[in-house]
């Protein structure tokens, strides 16, 4: 049981160790292709000691007191450091130095892993305008793995460096403040800066087609609304006028009705008196009874209807005075 627990613990421990190893920087030293590099090993008083350099366990230098069996003496400094010339990708790996005492005991050891990297290419800074709200800048490089990005934003005079992602998203409002951009891409041994880019997203709106469409849609909507409003106003005005006319007509009708009830003969006469000024013939034809009576009146003036005649005569005389109602009770004899 204890054995199982110990095994389990060991497994877990080794797992943790693996994790920490994965997080650890894989290289102690970084160098650019074609570069000359001196490995940082120092042993004072080399003298009679043996010096051995290995690259990935292969001996590349072995010497003692000027006797060199492997490699070149000029590659080794007085303190035992190794000079590497014109580095290639094949030069990468683990280098180890061992200094051995004359009594065959180890005096000093050193090791270090070297990574050889290519120079980063100059990035191409591009941008896209996203629906009038954002500008997305992209720092384009061929192989972005393991590279670090940085941005320089030129705001009037100031320079601001904050972002470290490959893409940078800024709002149009920010874009008005920030004049121009450069992005830089770097690996452990080199850094390159893009050309300065000044995005122009607002002057020609990002998607001009969409904007045009929305504008036309807006215009059409506004026009339609205006038309509907105009129609409504017209309809309301017409309704009000019609209503006023109707109420006026109704009132007149009611007045006429009441007059007719009171004096069915006189009121038409009164109306004809008003209308005779404009169209006397129509008024006469429209009221044939009155006409007939008027016509017959001179003939039957003598004895047939003296009361009626007097009433008519009386009705005709005050007709310019627009008060037919007051006249009403005066003629109850019909
Ligand atoms: C590397 O060293 C060699 C010889 O010492 C020299 O010719 C060359 O210019 C050096 N290269 C660099 C990049 O310094
Ligand atoms: C070997 O030599 C070194 C110095 O030269 C000394 O410090 C060390 O004690 C010696 N070891 C043995 C086992 O003799
Ligand atoms: C490098 O040296 C360290 C101690 O400094 C040692 O733990 C490690 O195993 C060595 N690596 C190699 C590959 O020899």
Per-residue pLDDT reduced to its tens digit, 34-75: 999 999 999 998 888 999 999 998 999 999 877 888 899 899
Please say whether the beta carbons of 148 and 193 come within 8 A: no
pLDDT of residue 12: 42
CA of 44 to the centre of ligand 2 (A): 16
Whole-angstrom distance, CA of residue 219 vs CA of residue 225: 10
Q: Which of 315, 279, 278 is nearest to 297 (CA)?
A: 315
Q: Which of 163, 193, 223 is the last residue of a domain?
A: 193
CA 250 from chain center: how many Å?
A: 61
Closest approach atom of ligand 1 to CA 36: 1
Q: What is the CATH number of the domain that holds 161?
A: 2.60.40.10
Q: Is residue 150 part of a domain?
A: yes
Give the residue ranges of the chain where pLDDT is below 50.
1-21, 204-208, 211, 259, 261-324, 326-334
- pLDDT confidence of residue 65: 76
Task: Write down which residue in 101, 117, 133 finishes a domain.
Answer: 117
Ligand 3 atom with least separation from CA of 112: 1
Domain count, the chain: 2
Please give the pLDDT value at position 123: 95
Which ligand 1 atom is nearest residue 86's CA? 1
Full domain range(s) for residue 57: 24-117
DSSP character string of 53-112: EEETTEEEEEEETTEEEES-GGGB-TT-PBEE-S--GGG-EEEEEEEE-TTS-EEEEEEE
CA angle 119, 137, 121 (to 5 degrees): 10
109 and 145 within one domain: no
The residue behind tokens 């205006």 is: 226
Question: Which ligand lies nearest to the CA atom of residue 106 in the structure?
Answer: 2
In a domain, 103, yes or no: yes
Q: What is the pLDDT of residue 243?
A: 80
CB 169 within 8 A of CB 133: no
What percent of the chain is predicted at pLDDT more than 70? Answer: 61
Q: Is the CB of 29 under 6 A from ligand 3?
A: no
Same domain, 30 and 109: yes
The reported pLDDT for the residue numbered 209 is 52
Prediction pTM value: 0.54
d(CA 63, CA 69): 6
Q: How far is the CA of 56 from the centre of ligand 3 (A)?
A: 12
Question: Is residue 30 located within the same domain as residue 72?
Answer: yes
Q: Quick one: tokens of 107?
A: 């005096």
Q: What is the largest CA-CA distance in the chain?
A: 179
């Amino acid at each position: 049981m204890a054995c199982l627990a110990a095994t389990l613990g060991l497994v877990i421990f080794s797992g943790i160790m693996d994790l920490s190893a994965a997080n650890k920087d894989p290289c102690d030293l970084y160098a650019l292709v074609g570069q000359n590099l001196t490995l940082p090993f120092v042993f004072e008083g080399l003298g009679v000691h043996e010096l051995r350099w290995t690259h990935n366990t292969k001996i590349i230098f072995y010497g003692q007191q000027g006797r060199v069996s492997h490699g070149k003496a000029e590659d080794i400094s007085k303190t035992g450091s190794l000079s590497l010339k014109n580095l290639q990708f094949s030069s990468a790996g683990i280098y180890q130095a061992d200094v051995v005492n004359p009594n065959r005991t180890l005096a000093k050891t050193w090791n270090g892993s070297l990574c050889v990297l290519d120079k980063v290419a100059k990035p191409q800074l591009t941008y896209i305008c996203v629906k009038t709200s954002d500008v997305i800048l992209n720092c384009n490089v061929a192989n972005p793995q393991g590279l670090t990005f940085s941005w320089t934003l030129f705001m009037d005079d100031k320079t601001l460096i904050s972002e470290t992602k490959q893409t940078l998203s800024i709002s149009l409002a920010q874009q008005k403040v920030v004049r121009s951009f450069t992005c830089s891409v770097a690996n452990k041994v080199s850094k390159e800066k893009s050309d300065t880019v000044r995005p122009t997203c607002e002057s020609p709106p990002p998607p001009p087609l969409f904007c045009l469409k929305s504008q036309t849609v807006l215009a059409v909507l506004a026009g339609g609304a205006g038309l509907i409003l105009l129609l409504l106003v017209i309809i309301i005005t017409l309704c009000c006028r019609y209503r006023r006319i109707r109420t006026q007509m109704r009132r007149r009708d009611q007045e006429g009705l009441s007059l007719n009830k009171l004096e069915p003969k006189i009121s038409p006469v009164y109306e004809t008196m008003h209308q005779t000024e404009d169209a006397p013939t129509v008024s006469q034809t429209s009221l044939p009874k009155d006409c007939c009576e008027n016509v017959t009146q001179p003939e039957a003036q003598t004895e047939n209807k003296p009361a009626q005649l007097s009433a008519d005569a009386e009705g005709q005389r005050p007709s310019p005075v627009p008060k037919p109602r007051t006249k009403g009770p005066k003629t109850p004899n019909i």
